[in-house]
Amino acid sequence: MAFDIEMIRKVYEEMPKRVDKARELVGRPLTLSEKILYAHLWEGEPKQGFTRGKDYVDFAPDRVACQDATAQMALLQFMHAGKPQAAVPTTVHCDHLIQAKVDAKADLKRAKEQSNEVFDFLSSISNKYGIGFWKPGAGIIHQVVLENYAFPGGMMIGTDSHTVNAGGLGMVAIGVGGADAVDVMSGMAWELKFPKLIGVKLTGKLSGWTAPKDIILKVAGILTVKGGTGAIVEYFGEGAKSLSCTGKGTICNMGAEVGATTSTFGYDESMDRYLRATNRADVADEAAKVADYLTADPEVYANPEQYFDQIIEINLSELEPYLNGPFTPDLATPISKMKEEAAKNDWPLNVQVGLIGSCTNSSYEDISRSVSIAQQASDKKLKPKSKFTITPGSEQVRFTIERDGFIDTFDKIGATVFANACGPCIGMWDRAGAEKEERNTIVHSFNRNFSKRADGNPNTLAFVGSPELVTAIAIAGDLGFNPITDKLINEDGEEVMLDEPTGWELPPNGFAVDDAGYQAPAEDGSKVEVKVSPTSERLQLLAPFEPWNGENIMGAKLLIKAYGKCTTDHISMAGPWLRFRGHLDNISNNMLIGAVNAFNMKTNLVKNEITGEYGPVPDTARAYKAAGIPTVVVGDHNYGEGSSREHAAMEPRHLGVKAVLVKSFARIHETNLKKQGMLALTFANEADYDKIQEDDVFNFIDLKEFAPGRALTLEVVHADGSKDTVIANHSYNEGQIGWFVAGSALNLIAAASRGEVEV
């Protein structure tokens, strides 16, 4: 039986009348995305239609999911909300704090020793507040959610940008910061600007070496890393129906890399099969009763150009395998062109490591197709030229592939199986030799490949592909190897070719697991004590941020003008810094250390206007804060791209940054800044970015008139006394301005819990 089956039944009971009313109000057929959104309005039955990309709307998500790195800060904030337990079903998953180094057993043992304090904190606070807890080794949050909690037509939020993975089971699942999660866990509405809609029509059918991963790699090349911002990507067509449920999940998962709010697919037979295979026949039976409401109205898919803001069409029969990268997930290269592109760009052809798995590609189907290549390598006497690793997505998948002999097959080609955790995908990889920062190439089936992302080496060129393609390239050891056309020389000196991969959508003998790793919360958590040592280096109880004093911000100094791509990895690095995710002051020592200073093109080296000397960004920020001087961060396009981590907003807030002024924001990061009581502003004239000088002082001369739809005026005073006036746009509504005035959204929630205000 499924978790929370009564909640799911209630969603399905309410859905038809809500969707029918929404269809009546907007006066046209509805997409799947619209059906789910209108079925989850905070107000219940719809009373009006909403304008895409314009109207802010309050929603009531069905559930919340948190991973251990972000859960720490989210739950530390939730403790301030004054609630006895989470208002909606919520889970915590321990997957980010397990570093890959030796193998699954050794790495998990080491993680439990090193992060025992954090795991105990998460276990106890989950126990107290009615939250389901998945122990270290249970698996990666998104795979575990797909196997246990995702359901067609549902809405969930999660404190990880790849929460969108659940779209593979027909959900609207959205990555958010921890403050958003606290809203929902506290029983409050969750606000989102009603998304635009991008339709992707899939025709034909995949075959041979082409995999579901290649669909999203192709889409990323079309949309780029910001082309999906503010939009839901909805896949449809006969090609969509031909994909497995987990294949759909892969596509939705990496939709985060195009900036999409989320991605989703209409309910079909593959989802029914997956639900039944994962012991949720009760959900499948309930979904069947409202199946027409779990996909778009027929007219929508028949004439998609009338109902979507943008249409992309891909013929799966003509699609070929892709490798995307390096350094950005949208640089898409067909495998047939890779040798040529590598030569043109001087990319090292020698592949040192191939890595498969992660939350994006660790299903039974993925592993089975990869193991078919590994078996061929063994049978055809091909010794892999690259190191090769596997990261299972869950204990259920790991147990099942071990039972079915897959791990034995991988052993034959010298592969290493890492723990059921994020590992190298998020930088939790203790890779031997990475500290030498040598230029090298790796290929993986993960989702992101930013500089330093996997191993901390800025000179590692990482390319993203499907698990089967990564396996083949690892065997060849050659970035330019095309398994469709190229031959390899085996140990006997013979020329051989790899056959097309084969696999199973679902395990023929069913899934199996001895201990999935789940801990149910106490029925009454009132007497459970949550302990946080005041001397801990890993955990720190939060103090509320100061509210706005009602005055214009004057005399603010420029902390850094970031040049080019500035992702959340640049603002708040992961890797070894993950250990401080529960300690705001300690983790603030990584603030913006990866951002490139536009004035000297160096990282972590900015001018301190108090001393005139150059130093690390966090140290400089602390000096300004100690002197009572507010600061401003200036950035380029798509600032805050990448992870949902709210530390990238909380750290600047903690260290005295008052405003972030950029050409454009990534959606989640903009919201996170707002939630923490900061000014998230964009240049009305992008060329004004070039006017910002190193010694500038910023005066916010009309902040007292801060209002929705009204731009702010900044007086930028240069070192020579000259001034420029910069107009800064913003997207704040009345409620969000309330967050700024209160000092943070959490301050408002806490005040409401005390009965001091209404929200």
Residues annotated as catalytic are 95-96, 160, 448, 643, 645
| DSSP assignment of 413-478 | TT-EE--SS-GGGGT-B--TTGGG---EEEEESSS---TTTTTS-TTEEEEE--HHHHHHHHHHTB
The residues near 558 (Cβ < 8 Å, ≥ 6 apart) are 631, 632, 634, 692, 693, 694, 695, 696, 697, 698
Nearest Cα to Cα of residue 160 among 138, 140, 146, 131? 140
Are 751 and 742 contacting, i.e. CB atoms less than 8 angstroms apart?
yes
Beta-carbon neighbour count of residue 759 at 10 Å? 16
Helix (H) and strand (E) counts in the chain: 25, 30
β-pairing, 416-417 vs 387-391, is: parallel
Which one-letter amino acid corresponds to residue 70? Answer: T
User: For residues 169 and 270, what is the distance between their CA atoms, to the nearest angstrom?
Assistant: 9
User: For residues 330 and 332, what is the distance between their CA atoms, to the nearest angstrom?
Assistant: 6
For the chain, what is the largest distance between any 2 Cα atoms, rounded to a whole number of angstroms?
Answer: 80
User: For residues 644 and 669, what is the distance between their CA atoms, to the nearest angstrom?
Assistant: 7
β-pairing, 723-729 vs 712-717, is: antiparallel
Peptide bond connecting 329 to the previous residue in cis, omega within 30 degrees of 0:
no
User: For residues 585 and 538, what is the distance between their CA atoms, to the nearest angstrom?
Assistant: 10
Are 150 and 169 contacting, i.e. CB atoms less than 8 angstroms apart?
yes
Are 669 and 649 contacting, i.e. CB atoms less than 8 angstroms apart?
yes
User: For residues 147 and 258, what is the distance between their CA atoms, to the nearest angstrom?
Assistant: 25
Segment (H or E) for 398: helix 395-403
Chain centroid offset of residue 546 CA: 29
User: For residues 753 and 743, what is the distance between their CA atoms, to the nearest angstrom?
Assistant: 16
Which one-letter amino acid corresponds to residue 89? Answer: P
What's the first-to-final CA gap in the chain, in angstroms? 37
Cα atoms in the 13 Å half-sphere on the side-chain side of 313: 9
Q: Which neighbouring-strand residues pair with 489?
A: 495
Give 704's DSSP letter. G
Query: What's the chain's length in residues?
Result: 759
User: For residues 413 and 444, what is the distance between their CA atoms, to the nearest angstrom?
Assistant: 17
Phi-psi category of residue 243: left, alpha or beta, with phi > 0 → left and psi -120 to 50 → alpha: beta
Nearest Cα to Cα of residue 182 among 670, 561, 748? 748
Tokens of 742: 């209160």
Angle between helices 5-26 and 281-289 (to 10 degrees): 20
Nearest Cα to Cα of residue 443 among 382, 386, 375? 386
